[in-house]
Structure 1
Amino acid sequence: MRASDLAYQSLRSDIMEGTLSPGSVIVEVEQSERLGVSRTPIREAISRLLSDGLAEPAPGRGVIVAPISLENVYSLFELRVSLDCTAAALAAGRGDATRFMRLAERFKQAAAILAAGQGNIAEYYALVDELDTAIDAAAANRYLYQAQLTLRTQLTRIRKLSKTNPVRLAQAADEHAQIARCIASQDAQLAEAATRLHLANALFAIEEAAASQEQHGLFEVAAHP
């Protein structure tokens, strides 16, 4: 693997996991020494991070890890609602009903376990990723899929910074079960409505998390546009 690819993967992982926190400066010399590569691969990696929206130029400071603000979250969700609802509607018309019913049952089981405070959060998010993959495959629209990739990267980062709320996780599992059931029923309107409800609740949960995280500088809370 090329040095620039290794540098990119390392820096991207640090940003996604919060090791490089929002607003922190990505110093070429420092990263070059840490990763044991020359500054050229670091520059190439930073260029890719800029394209991903994970980093941004800051006058007088160089390049920083892109801050997360509620204003940006609102913008992301405006796009997410459109893309996810479209994908769910397409999946309802084209997907394998059996596959989605099985996913619905697994989400119901996950909801019960999470509500009891016994759930494995990593396993739950792996199940969410599995549902996303199933919807992507059923929707069978590569342009829609490409549009969602960068968006999902940003949303995963936001999720990492948000405090985990067990009650919300159990509620979200129920909502995902409902989305999967609606897709299995092959009713595009119901699938879209279930997705829209889930996203509204998800945004509200992020707003609550942002309010508590503002004091740590992880979120920049701004008024809703």
Structure 2
Amino acid sequence: MAQETGTAADRAYATLRAAIIEGELAPGSSLAEVDQATRLGMSRTPVREAFARLIDDGLATERGPRTLVVSSIDADDVTALFDLRRALDEQAARLAACRASPDQRERFRTLAERFDIVTAASLADDDAGRHGYYALVAEFDDSIDHALGRSPHLAAALERVRTHLARVRRLAHDDDARLVASASEHGAIASAIADGDAERAAHATHLHLHNALTSIHAHLAQSENADRRTRETP
């Protein structure tokens, strides 16, 4: 749930954004002003403002006059997202390795150590949504952003891409084996940045993105096949 801070529109936006990213509001779900205003316990005006921000984020789509739905994500959308991620994330890792201060390098070294101890057993101790693991990934992303200090536009572009990536993770139904592998890949990136090795950081990022895309496509294909079998079952 969103924290009770900011304006009513801010709270509506934060709550609806989280619901979309977490999958509570699935792709194709209708977003009606009256329904959401009632659910959120506020007037329609801040909800309308929140809807406009969701459309700008690409999280909601207008299907006609007064008809708004949660945006869909298919395999082609995922591929396009990762095309952009490669350009942004690899350059971000490269710049972070070059620009990180001594304190920031130490933070990346600590992050690498924390990623290295992620195992199937440690994930089993996390909650069902693996929020502890994703909090660690968020720390890594935040460290990248701070190391990019002189590139605010790159950091802003990364934040937008991460929003959609979070949705894709939920839709692809993460499995723990992939999360353990992903932790190792994040650790390799963090270690390279800590060492100031720009090209190794970029290469480790490229490898991580390749593996992540392959896994997500596999999960989406499995879900599509399962849905097809369900529809065909008499």
Range of TM-score over shorter length: 0.7 to 0.9
Report the alpha carbon displacement of residue 13 of structure 1 after superposing the two structures with TM.
2.1
Which amino acid in structure 2 is aligned with residue 210 of structure 1?
L
| 2:49 counterpart (33, 44, 51) | 44
| 2:178 counterpart (147, 164, 168) | 168
Q: Distance in 2 between matches of 1:124 and 1:42?
A: 31
Say whether residues 1:100 and 2:108 are aligned partners.
yes
CA contact (8 A) 1:100 1:181 kept: yes
Say whether residues 1:129 and 2:134 are aligned partners.
no
CA contact (8 A) 1:25 1:61 kept: no
CA contact (8 A) 1:46 1:55 kept: yes
More displaced, 170-179 or 91-100? 91-100
CA contact (8 A) 2:28 2:72 kept: yes
More displaced, 60-69 or 21-30? 60-69
Report the alpha carbon displacement of residue 40 of structure 1 after superposing the two structures with TM.
2.2
SS at match of 1:56: strand
Report the alpha carbon displacement of residue 4 of structure 1 after superposing the two structures with TM.
2.2
Report the alpha carbon displacement of residue 152 of structure 1 after superposing the two structures with TM.
0.7
Q: Distance in 1 between matches of 2:176 and 2:165?
A: 19
Q: Distance in 2 between matches of 1:57 and 1:37?
A: 22
Q: Distance in 1 between matches of 2:201 and 2:14?
A: 35
Partner of 1:19: 24
More displaced, 190-199 or 93-102? 93-102
- Give per-residue Cα distances to partners, 1:182-209, cap 9 Å, x unaligned: 1122111111000000000000111011
Which amino acid in structure 2 is aligned with residue 33 of structure 1?
T
More displaced, 181-190 or 58-67? 58-67
- Give per-residue Cα distances to partners, 1:92-113, cap 9 Å, x unaligned: 1122332222211111111xx2
Q: Counterparts of 1:1-225 in structure 2 under 5 Å?
A: 1-59=6-64, 62-95=67-100, 96=102, 97-110=105-118, 113-114=119-120, 118-120=124-126, 121-140=130-149, 141-214=151-224, 215-216=226-227
SS at match of 2:18: helix
Structure scoring higher RCO (CA < 8 A, sep ≥ 6) equals 1
Compute the TM-score of the two structures, normalised by the length of structure 2.
0.85
Compute the TM-score of the two structures, normalised by the length of structure 1.
0.88
Report the alpha carbon displacement of residue 138 of structure 1 after superposing the two structures with TM.
1.3
- Residue 63 and residue 199 in structure 1: after superposition, are their counterparts in 2 closer, same or farther (change >3 A)? same
SS at match of 1:24: coil
- Residue 101 and residue 202 in structure 1: after superposition, are their counterparts in 2 closer, same or farther (change >3 A)? same
- Residue 2 and residue 186 in structure 1: after superposition, are their counterparts in 2 closer, same or farther (change >3 A)? closer
CA contact (8 A) 2:123 2:133 kept: no
CA contact (8 A) 1:115 1:166 kept: no
Aligned length: 215
Report the alpha carbon displacement of residue 88 of structure 1 after superposing the two structures with TM.
0.5
Q: Distance in 2 between matches of 1:132 and 1:14?
A: 21
SS at match of 1:37: coil
Q: Distance in 1 between matches of 2:66 and 2:177?
A: 40
Identical-pair percentage: 45
Give the root-mean-square deviation of aligned CA atoms: 1.9
Unaligned runs of 5+ in 1: 218-225
Unaligned runs of 5+ in 2: 1-5, 229-234
